[in-house]
Amino acid sequence: MPRIVARGIKKEDLKKVSAELFDTIAGIIERPREAFTLDLVESVAILDGEEISRANIEIGWVERPVEVCEKVANAVGALIKPLGYETVMVSFKSIDLAYEFVFKN
C-alpha cells in the first residue's frame, strides 16, 4: 500500500531506479510490490532565486515504527543520491485506510 510521490527528480532517473526502489522497500517492509504506487510530480526547488538540485521522496503508508522508516529512508537515499542530486529528502506520511476509497471500472 505504500504510495510513493517523487518531486524534483528527472523522469528518466526515476524510471531507472523504480524497479530497485520497489524491490528494496518491499524487502524491508515485507509487502508485495504490486501494492505500491509511484507518481512523479514535476517541480523545481528554488533557494535565493536559484534552482537547486533537490530530490524529495514522500512515502505514504500505514504508520510504521521509526526504525523501519529510517531503514527505508537510508535505502531510498542510497538509490537516489548517486544520480547526482545535491540533497535527497525522504519523508513519511501516515495513511488511515479507513479514510481511503478506491473506485475502479
Closest CA to 61 of 90, 84, 89: 90
The Cα 24–Cα 51 span in angstroms is: 30
Whether the CA torsion 16, 4, 24, 92 is positive or negative: it is: positive
Mean pLDDT of the chain: 95
Burial code of 23-58, b = ≥16 C-beta within 10 A, e = fewer?
ebbbebbeeeeeebeeebeeeebeeeeeeeebbbbb
First vs last C-alpha separation in the chain? 20
Interval 46-79: pLDDT, tens:
999 999 999 999 999 999 999 999 999 999 999 9
Q: Would you list the domain boundaries of the chain?
A: 3-99
How confident is the model over 80-87, as a mean pLDDT? 95
Contact 5, 60 (CB under 8 A): yes
For domain 3-99, give the fold: Macrophage Migration Inhibitory Factor (3.30.429)
How confident is the model over 77-100, as a mean pLDDT? 95
Note if the pTM is more than 0.85.
yes
Residue 100 has a pLDDT of: 87
